[in-house]
Structures are given as structure tokens and as C-alpha cells.
A and B are shown apart, each in its own frame.
Chain A
Amino acid sequence: DAMVIQNPRYQVTQFGKPVTLSCSQTLNHNVMYWYQQKSSQAPKLLFHYYDKDFNNEADTPDNFQSRRPNTSFCFLDIRSPGLGDAAMYLCATSSGQGEQYFGPGTRLTVT
């Protein structure tokens, strides 16, 4: 059974057109993360929530926002996607004990 679910798996958006990616989890984990991964690179942490506490990485562009309405769901909003935002976006969860569990990712294409 899928534990971290991301929708959609593939998303195409136009330059400057807002887009939202979603993540849900069945693990009841406190912590949820959003990563950006570009080709042949390691995942780069954008932000994470510990329960409702939002933690932004210092170098995450303002163009990226996140919402966590409840324990199970977390959203990544890209307000004005640029060509450089084309990437795989990975959601992960953790109980806070160390290991993180990743979803399958959403591949974003910007045209």
C-alpha cells in the first residue's frame, strides 16, 4: 500500500502560470518535507513542516510556498514558474526519529 502519495505524477504548466503539487501520507508522521531534484543531482530541501510549524530553507525562492492543512496533506505552490523550476519535486515524511520516507515524485515541466 502506498504510504506517501504524490499527485499528479507529471505536471505541465506554462511559464508564469501558478501550479500546485500535492502530497498525502498514511503514516501519520509529524514531519513533512518538500524537495526539488534536478537531473543527476541530489534532492534539495525547500522546506519542511513539523506538525504545523513551517521551516523554510534560507535559499528557497519566494516563488515557492507551502500549505499543510492537516497531518495527512501538504501542498507545494509555485506562484510563477520559470523555466528553471522544471524538476522532480519529492515529498517525504518522517516521524521525527531520523529516517524519511519519500513519495514517487511529481515531474514538473514548464513550457
Chain B
Amino acid sequence: GEDVEQSLFLSVREGDSSVINCTYTDSSSTYLYWYKQEPGAGLQLLTYIFSNMDMKQDQRLTVLLNKKDKHLSLRIADTQTGDSAIYFCAESIIPTASKLTFGTGTRLQVTL
């Protein structure tokens, strides 16, 4: 079965880079996603990567995928206080009518 794990908490100083890590177990994953959830809000899709890619960059966000180790990371450059939120990684195995398996979520705290 699928299992997606993340560390629970990360604290960084404003201006530093944040790296949020995720491990998954299903090697047939085809899409991997990063979502951001602010308090009391829904999930915002930040970025996603196909499983045949190693890296994807989108402005301050860099996603790295190590398929051999089933490890996904999200790097946020120049972290701002507005980046404070819970970050969920998610995997999708069946693209059509896809169901997402979410990680446990990482709470990012940005300090001044």
C-alpha cells in the first residue's frame, strides 16, 4: 500500500532557504505534488513533478525528485513570513480520476 511520510515541523529564519522533505513508498507513482495550507484555508497547489523528471524550478520553488530513493523535496528560496503554513506532499498513481495520497504535512514556521 501507499505511504507518504514527512517530518512534522521545520523552523527557518526569514531570508534563509527552507527544504521540506517527503518520502513515498509506491514506485508506480506517476505524479508528485506539493500543496500549501494556511490556517483555516483549503489546500493550494504549489507545483508538481512528473516521475520521469529529476528537478523542476518555478520562481522561488525548486522540486527535486530522487526516484531511486523515493525521495521528494521542496526548496523555498528566500523564505518569507507569508510562507508560514503546512506543506503537504502527495502522490498520484492513477492519473485518470486520480486519487491523491497525502503525506502527514510539515508545518513551516518562519521567524524574523
Contacts of B44 in A (CB 8 A): 102
Contacts of B92 in A (CB 8 A): 98
| Interface hits, B13-67 → A, CB 8 Å | 30-31, 33, 35, 40-45, 48
Which of A12-20, A41-49, A60-68, A76-84 touches B?
A: A41-49
Do A98 and B48 touch across chains, with their CB atoms under 8 A apart? yes
Do A99 and B45 touch across chains, with their CB atoms under 8 A apart? yes
Q: Which of B41, B100, B104 contacts A100 (CB 8 A)?
A: B100
A55, B96: Cα distance in complex, Å = 13
Do A96 and B95 touch across chains, with their CB atoms under 8 A apart? yes
Do A98 and B98 touch across chains, with their CB atoms under 8 A apart? yes
0/1 interface trace, chain B 81-112, chain A, CB 8 Å (1 if under): 00000001000100111111011110000000
Do B43 and A43 touch across chains, with their CB atoms under 8 A apart? yes
Contacts of A100 in B (CB 8 A): 45, 98, 100
Residue in chain B with minimal CB distance to A49: B97
A5, B81: Cα distance in complex, Å = 27
Given A42-B103, A102-B35; 16 other pairs, CB 8 A cutoff: A4-B42, A6-B42, A40-B105, A41-B105, A48-B99, A50-B97, A94-B98, A97-B96, A98-B31, A98-B92, A98-B95, A100-B98, A102-B44, A102-B45, A103-B42, A104-B41
Q: What is B's interface to A at a CB cutoff of 8 Å?
A: 30-31, 33, 35, 40-45, 48, 88, 92, 95-100, 102-105
Q: What is A's interface to B at a CB cutoff of 8 Å?
A: 4, 6, 30-31, 40-43, 45, 48, 50, 55, 90, 92, 94, 96-105, 107
Contact sample, A vs B, 27 pairs, CB 8 Å cutoff: A6-B42, A30-B97, A41-B104, A42-B102, A43-B43, A45-B99, A45-B100, A48-B97, A90-B42, A92-B43, A94-B97, A94-B98, A96-B95, A97-B96, A98-B31, A98-B33, A99-B31, A99-B33, A99-B45, A100-B100, A102-B35, A102-B43, A102-B44, A104-B42, A105-B40, A105-B42, A107-B40
